[in-house]
Amino acid sequence: MCGIVGSWFPSAVGRVKSINPAEFTSLMLAGLQHRGHHAAGLVVARHGDKESFHDAARGVGLVFDVLTEEVIRRERHCHCALGHNLYQTCGHNLQRNVQPFLNIIADGTEQEQIAVSHNGNLTQNQEGARPSDSDSWCFLESFARVSNELPLHLRILNSLRPLSGAYALVYLHQDKQGKCSLVCVRDPNGFRPLYLAEYHFIVRGKKRIGYLAGSETRAFDRIGVDKCREVQPGEIVVINDNGVRSFQSTAKGWANQPEKPCVFELPYFAGVNSQVRSKEPLEALEVREALGVRTAIEFCECHPDIKVEAVVEVPDSSRPQASGVSKALGIARRDVIFRNHGAGRTFTELQGSIVEKILRKFGFSVSRIRSLKSIALVDDSIVRGNTLREVAAYIKKINPHIQIHALIAYPPVICPCFFGIAMSTVKELARHKYGDIGEMARKLNVDTLFFISYEGFFQTIESLTGYPESGWCTACISGSMPIEVVRRQYQEELVKFSLLQK
CB-based contact 173:165 (threshold 8 Å): no
Our measurement of the distance from residue 171's CA atom to the centroid of its chain's CA atoms, rounded to an integer in Å, reads 18
85 to each of 8, 265, 476, how far by Cα in Å?
19, 17, 23
CB-based contact 8:83 (threshold 8 Å): no
Distance CA 26, CA 218 (A): 13
Cβ partners under 8 Å of residue 49, min gap 6: 178
| DSSP structure class, residue 259 | P
CB-based contact 274:220 (threshold 8 Å): no
Q: In the chain, how long is the greatest CA-to-CA distance?
A: 79
CB-based contact 210:7 (threshold 8 Å): yes
Report pLDDT for 346. 39
Report pLDDT for 460. 98
What is this structure's pTM? 0.94
Report pLDDT for 350. 43
Classify 109 in phi/psi space as left (phi over 0), alpha (psi -120 to 50) or beta: alpha
Q: How many residues does the chain have?
A: 502
329 to each of 261, 295, 347, 369, how far by Cα in Å?
32, 10, 29, 20
CA dihedral 288→292→293→296, nearest 10 degrees, is 170
pLDDT tens string 96-150: 889 999 999 988 778 999 999 999 999 988 765 566 678 899 999 999 999 999 9
Cβ partners under 8 Å of residue 254, min gap 6: 157, 161, 188, 234
Please give the domain boundaries of the chain with CATH numbers for all domains: 3-257 (3.60.20.10), 284-501 (3.40.50.2020)
DSSP letter for each residue of 331-396: --B---EEE-GGG--SSSPPPS-HHHHHHHHEEE-HHHHHT-SEEEEEES--SS-HHHHHHHHHHH
Q: What is the pLDDT along the chain (502 residues), one digit of tens a residue?
A: 799 999 999 999 999 999 999 999 999 999 999 999 899 999 999 999 999 999 999 999 999 999 999 999 999 999 999 999 998 755 555 788 899 999 999 887 789 999 999 999 999 887 655 666 788 999 999 999 999 999 999 999 999 999 999 999 999 999 999 999 999 999 999 999 999 999 999 998 999 999 999 999 999 999 999 999 999 999 999 999 999 999 999 998 899 999 999 999 999 999 999 999 999 999 999 999 999 999 999 999 999 999 999 999 998 789 999 999 999 999 999 988 887 655 444 334 444 555 666 666 788 888 889 999 999 999 999 999 988 998 999 999 999 999 999 999 999 999 999 998 889 899 999 999 998 999 999 999 999 999 999 999 999 999 999 999 999 999 999 999 999 999 999 999 999 998 888 6
Cβ partners under 8 Å of residue 376, min gap 6: 296, 299, 308, 310, 311, 312, 325, 329, 331, 405, 406, 407
Distance CA 296, CA 308 (A): 12
Helix (H, G, I), strand (E, B) or coil at 286: helix
Report pLDDT for 353. 57
Distance CA 144, CA 43 (A): 19
Report pLDDT for 472. 98
| 177 CB-contact burial (10 Å; exposed 0-12 / middle 13-18 / buried 19+) | exposed
Distance CA 230, CA 249 (A): 18
Distance CA 407, CA 447 (A): 11
pLDDT tens string 175-219: 999 999 999 999 999 999 999 999 999 998 999 999 999 999 999
381 to each of 252, 282, 321, 392, 473, how far by Cα in Å?
37, 21, 10, 15, 16
